[in-house]
Amino acid sequence: MNFAERVERVSPSATVSISNAASELEADGVDVVDLSVGEPDFPTPENVVRAGKEAIDDGYTGYAPSPGVPELREEIAEKLRADGLDCGPENVLVTPGGKQALYELFQTLVDDGDEVLLLDPAWVSYEAMAKLAGSTLQRVDLAPYDFALEPALPDLAEAVSNDTSLLVVNSPSNPTGAVYSEDALRGVRDLAVEHDITAISDEIYKEIAYGTEATSLGSLSGMAERTITLNGFSKAYSMTGWRLGYFAGPEDPLRPVRRGRSAPKHRRRRSGDARGLPRAPGHAV
């Protein structure tokens, strides 16, 4: 059997490999502290579990609208507006997990030969998704600056080229935990505007920050029209197995995503609702 050349561009996930090794040790009775996958150490909140059971009992088990359940998209938009983003439900697409959201975005925003800019150390899947999309990678190492972004801005400016089409910003960062300052993000904004670069702001850990609050890149002046904001429920609400993520941004770049995912999807008889899904830390819809 022959395989597509693009699948040969990527290696198996190091994160998954480490997680599998930890699972094997645990099966052998070894006490392991597993720092590989981002699996919270608390269960899904009871109100969410209860709402999920009720939804199944009530028959919400068919296809959902391609962009996501309307009530859920409205609640997500409300959350993003609280984060400072100019966002309505029409700007939100719900996905089966945050990784799927990133895959759809890379496939939509990146062409063969385009350059993707990463801030290192970076989550390993960014590289794989960039390579699957046919792009080249440019990296800016934050390690010499104690993983802070602001002192690395001159390096970032030097790394930008005419081929740079996409910049991925992950704050709070996986794996370092760094929360980039607003001044640092303003520096990113200046570069993105000057060079007309689209940004993905991966905010999956936004609700897990201690002693500080992460700024949404898309909330800064000049970034709303060039930023796709990504988040989900896996980390903050321990819903990793529920596979529920989302991204939001200007309608123009979302239109081809809708087109690409609409063909295999169908509307179910009744639209679902957002009962029990967390609106913000400590609150539920």
Cα distance between residue 210 and residue 206, in whole Å: 10
Counting every residue, how long is the chain?
285
What's the average model confidence in pLDDT over 72-96? 96
Cα distance between residue 254 and residue 160, in whole Å: 25
What is the rounded average pLDDT for all residues in the chain? 89
Query: Whose structure tokens read 């941004």?
Result: 249
- With a cut of 90, say whether residue 256 has pLDDT above it: no
- The reported pLDDT for the residue numbered 263 is 60
Sorting pLDDT into bands at 50, 70 and 90, what band is 10?
confident
Query: Whose structure tokens read 């089409």?
Result: 165
Which residues are 231's β-sheet partners? 246
Cα distance between residue 260 and residue 256, in whole Å: 6
Alpha-carbon distances, residue 233 vs 86, 127, 277 (angstroms): 21, 23, 9
The backbone torsions φ and ψ at residue 124, rounded to the nearest 5 degrees and listed phi first, read -65, -30
Q: 189 or 3: whose pLDDT is higher?
A: 189
Domains, the chain, ranges and CATH?
A: 1-37 (no CATH), 46-284 (3.40.640.10)
**How many CA atoms lie less than 13 Å away from 266 in the CB half-sphere?**
4
What's the average model confidence in pLDDT over 244-253? 92
Pair 230, 200: CB distance under 8 Å: yes
**pLDDT tens digits for 184-203?**
999 999 999 999 999 999 99
**pLDDT tens digits for 133-174?**
999 999 999 999 999 999 999 999 999 998 999 999 999 999
Alpha-carbon distances, residue 252 vs 109, 196, 225, 229, 262 (angstroms): 11, 15, 9, 14, 16
Pair 208, 235: CB distance under 8 Å: yes
**pLDDT tens digits for 110-135?**
999 999 999 999 999 999 999 999 99
- With a cut of 70, say whether residue 262 has pLDDT above it: no
* Residues whose CB falls within 8 Å of the CB of residue 160, separated by 6 or more in sequence, listed in order: 117, 191, 195, 197
